[in-house]
Chain A
Amino acid sequence: MTGRDRIVVVIVVLIVAVIGSWVLVIGPKRDQADKLGAKVTAAQNQLTAARAQIAAAEADRSAYGRNYEAVAELGEAIPSDDDTPSLIYELQNAATRTGVDFLSLVLNGASSTPAATTSSASSSTSQAVTATLPPGAAVGPAGLPTLPFTFTFQGNFFHLASFLGRLERFVVATNKKVSVGGRLMTLNGISLGAAPTGFPQIVATISATTYLVPASEGLTDGASPSGPAAGSSANTVSGSTSSATPAAAITP
């Protein structure tokens, strides 16, 4: 073997050694480094997301007092139970102010078979929910309990019209603000007929629906003025079981 041959052999051996070390040692290390780079990016994203969560949560914590106040005030519009005494008081107060005679209030009772045509599982669930409601309340398809009433009033036409306006103004909603001054109710129908005493006195029979907060939540979902309850069921607003967004469809 000449000197030239030896050099060629050595060069070939060197090339093989270089390729081998690249493939067997350096290549895997570089792959590992790349994977770790991806892990670093993921961890940074995780940290950023967690910090954003904290920022949002801090904002919610600083707004807690305002939120608690809002929920407490909404409790007047949508109480946790039938709260009939306050309803009577509010109706009588509105009737007195508008010169209308408050004759009667009748709880129509629950036709509480919303799941009559559904499966037995959902039926039993509905029954369990209904069992926690005040007597006469019915649970709508999405879980918001309703309480139907029939009121009877007597007065002249204009006073009754004014009275209906006052009932509607118990809760006034604008784009930015919800003003609560009494029970939220939907007037489904009214019937005006002649009063026994004759014109201009007329009797108004009003079919109305009032609303309750879901029994699973209660008025404030266990929160107190000092802080919220841990593990609250806030995301089950109105009985729907949305996990993250409160923008659930509510169908009383």
Chain B
Amino acid sequence: MRAVNLIPDDSRRGWRGPVGGSGGSVYVLLGALAVALALVTLYVLTTNRISDQKAKVAGLQAQASQAQSAAARLAPYVEFAKLAQARTATVRGIASSRFDWHGALAGLSRVVPANTSLQSLVGTVVPGVTVGGAGGSATGASLRGDVSAPAFELTGCSDSQDDVARLVSRLRLIDGVTHVSLEDTQKSANGQSGASVSSGSGGGCPKGSPTFDMVVFFTPLANAGADGVTSVSSEPVSSTTTSGGSR
């Protein structure tokens, strides 16, 4: 007769669990399923992320395209603003780099002594500028070419050689004068004909008075090109206004 064990399975000695003698295969299977689940989850998440980013890229590109179209429509305004800025900068560059003729002549009139007459005055912003007409030929041309700066070439006469020396000293007092070069001073026995340009005494050179040729050099202009035409590097200034001025 066969014995029957009436003790419940889980109360028997040496019970090995519900898997019984499967040797842990169930755990392996469960682990494999867990790993597979993780991989599938990761795959799905990544796929979703890709889809989201694709949609985002498409949206952003559409917005950027619209914005670029709008910017393109407004481009003529931008171009015109650049034109206005550049032209203003050009005019400013030329206007602000010119030689102050009025100031120089006013300074000259203040320093020429009363007993000195100027027979001619030739002013040029750089050597080589030709000015026709009366007084156009300067005798100090050789000295003039030595310095590339605005200069007055003066010809005139004075009462004595001391007065010529005094004139040279006083010319140095003019604003912006860097150098005064005396080319010659000669006492003429016959005097020099011709009316004066700027004089305290007026008239031509009296007999026996010394005549002189000198060159007064001023501070060089920053942008003076050949023939005195201004060369300008224009830098637009954003907050520039232009207004009509009085003449």
Q: A70 touching B23 by the CB < 8 A rule?
A: no
In the complex, A202 has a CB within 8 A of chain B: yes
In the complex, A82 has a CB within 8 A of chain B: no
Q: How far is the CA of A182 from the CA of B244 in the complex (A)?
A: 9
Q: How far is the CA of A137 from the CA of B59 in the complex (A)?
A: 55
**In the complex, what residues of A have CB within 8 A of residue B42's CB?**
26
In the complex, B121 has a CB within 8 A of chain A: yes
Q: B81 touching A63 by the CB < 8 A rule?
A: yes
Given known contacts A161-B109, A173-B91, A246-B82, is B50 in contact with A32 (CB within 8 Å)? Answer: yes
Q: Mark B187-208, 1 if CB is under 8 A from A, else 0.
A: 0000000111111001100000
**In the complex, what residues of A have CB within 8 A of residue B71's CB?**
50, 53-54, 57
Q: How far is the CA of A67 from the CA of B55 in the complex (A)?
A: 42
Q: B231 touching A39 by the CB < 8 A rule?
A: no
In the complex, A81 has a CB within 8 A of chain B: no
Minimum CB distance partner of B22 in chain A: A3
**In the complex, what residues of A have CB within 8 A of residue B239's CB?**
176
Q: How far is the CA of A66 from the CA of B241 in the complex (A)?
A: 8
Q: Which of B4-12, B100-108, B164-172, B174-182 contacts A (4 or more CB under 8 A)?
A: B100-108
Q: How far is the CA of A211 from the CA of B239 in the complex (A)?
A: 24
Q: Mark A19-61, 1 if CB is under 8 A from B, else 0.
A: 0011001100110110011011001101100110110111011
**In the complex, what residues of A have CB within 8 A of residue B123's CB?**
189-192
**In the complex, what residues of A have CB within 8 A of residue B14's CB?**
none
Q: B23 touching A213 by the CB < 8 A rule?
A: no
Smallest distance from the beta carbon of A103 to chain B beta carbons, Å? Answer: 9
Q: How far is the CA of A217 from the CA of B202 in the complex (A)?
A: 53
Question: 8 Å CB contacts to B: which residues of A227-252?
Answer: 227-232, 234-235, 237-238, 246-252
In the complex, B18 has a CB within 8 A of chain A: no
In the complex, B16 has a CB within 8 A of chain A: no
Q: A229 touching B43 by the CB < 8 A rule?
A: no
Given known contacts A146-B229, A251-B231, A251-B232, is B74 in contact with A61 (CB within 8 Å)? Answer: yes
Q: B232 touching A188 by the CB < 8 A rule?
A: no
Q: B57 touching A36 by the CB < 8 A rule?
A: yes
Smallest distance from the beta carbon of B38 to chain A beta carbons, Å? Answer: 9
Question: 8 Å CB contacts to A: which residues of B114-149?
Answer: 118-126, 129-136
Q: A182 touching B35 by the CB < 8 A rule?
A: no
Q: How far is the CA of A11 from the CA of B136 in the complex (A)?
A: 109
Question: 8 Å CB contacts to B: which residues of A180-238?
Answer: 180-182, 184, 186-195, 198-200, 202-203, 205-207, 209, 211, 213, 217, 221, 223, 227-232, 234-235, 237-238
Binding site for B on A (CB under 8 A): 3-4, 6-7, 10-11, 14, 18, 21-22, 25-26, 29-30, 32-33, 36-37, 39-40, 43-44, 46-47, 50-51, 53-54, 56-58, 60-61, 63-64, 66-71, 73-74, 76-78, 90, 93-94, 97, 140, 144, 146, 148, 150, 152, 157-158, 160-162, 164-166, 168-173, 175-182, 184, 186-195, 198-200, 202-203, 205-207, 209, 211, 213, 217, 221, 223, 227-232, 234-235, 237-238, 246-252
What 10 pairs between A and B have smallest CB-CB spacing?
Answer: A193-B134, A193-B135, A205-B133, A165-B102, A188-B228, A179-B245, A3-B23, A57-B74, A50-B67, A246-B86
